Structure 1
Amino acid sequence: MRSDTASGDHLRLAKRASGLLVVLTVPIVVAAGLYASVSGVVGSLVGVSFVALLFGASSASLVWAIDHAPGLAVAVMAGGAFARLAIYAAVLVSLSHATWLHRPSLAMATVVATTVMLAAEMVWIARTPRLFHVDAGAARPTAHAHPSPLASGAPTPDAMPQNGSRSL
C-alpha cells in the first residue's frame, strides 16, 4: 500500500506533467496555426492530446506497479516508454491519409511533446527515489568508502614524465 508521502509524490508528478503539457501546447499550437492555419491547429491539438492520453495511461500503470509490484516498476516504466513510441508511430501512420488535419503539424506536435515529456519524466522520476521505495538517506556515502588514489600519494598526471622520458 502506498504511503502518504508516496501518494504526494504521485500527485506532484501528475501536476508537473499536466502543467508542462499546458505550457507546451501553447507554442506548438501557435506555431502550427501560423504555418498551416486551421488544419495545423487541429493537427497539433490532436498530437498533443494524444501525447497527454498516453502519458496519463503510462503514469497510471507506473503508479499501479509501484503500489502492487514494486520490483516491476522500472520494467513497467521502460516498457511504457517503448510502448508509447510504438503506439505513436502506428497512429501517425494510420492518420497519414486524413485530409481534415495537417499531417506535418500532427507529427511535429507529437514528436516535440513526446521528446520533452519523456525527458522531463525521466528527470522527475530520477529525483523522486521514494516512488521506488528507495530511502535516499540510507545510502552509504561512497566518497568515504573508496578513498581517492590521490590521497594515498599516487602520482598525479601532472607529475608523470613527459615526452617518453623515464624518471626513477
Structure 2
Amino acid sequence: MTLHPGLEVVSGLIGTWRGDGHGEYPTIESFDYVEEVTFTDVGKPFLHYAQMTWSPSGAPMHTETGYLRIINGTGVEFVLAQPTGQTELSEGPLESKTDGFTCELRSQVHNSGSAKHVEATLRHIELAGGVLTTSFAMAAAGVPMTHHLASQMHSIS
C-alpha cells in the first residue's frame, strides 16, 4: 500500500510504540504507567490510532482510539473517542523537523451524561531521534488547565 502523500511528515509514527509514563493531577495521587500506541496506515489521508495504558504491575488503566489527520502539511486534527465518556477534537499546528515533527493540540471535548466533566485538553506530541514523547494537560473536576500525563516511547515494530 502506498502512503498518502499528505502523511509524509508523520510517516515515522507508523507502527507500535511503547514506553513508560508518569501521571499526576491535583485531585489524585501520582502514578506511573506503561503506554503503548499504534499508528496504522490505512491507505487514506489519515492514520488510525489506538492507545492503551496499564500499571507497572500489568493492570489495565486507560484506552482510546481515533484518527490523526494532517492538514496541508502544516496542521493536525486528532479525533479521539474514550470509554470514559469523552470525545475530543484536537487541532493545532504541525512543525516538521529534520528527524520528525512536533505539534501542540488544543481540544474541544464532549462529555456523555454519565462522564466526569472534562472542559478541555492540551496534547503535545513530538517525534525526534526515534523517540515519541507525549504530554497531556486537562481542565477537569473544577481544576483549570493543569499537567496530567507525560510519556516517552520507542518503536517496537
TM-score under structure 2 length normalisation: 0.24
Identify, as 1 or 2, the structure richer in strand: 2
Identify, as 1 or 2, the structure richer in helix: 1
**Structure with the larger RCO, 1 or 2 (CA within 8 Å, 6+ apart):** 1
TM-score under structure 1 length normalisation: 0.23
Which structure has the larger Rg over C-alpha atoms? 1
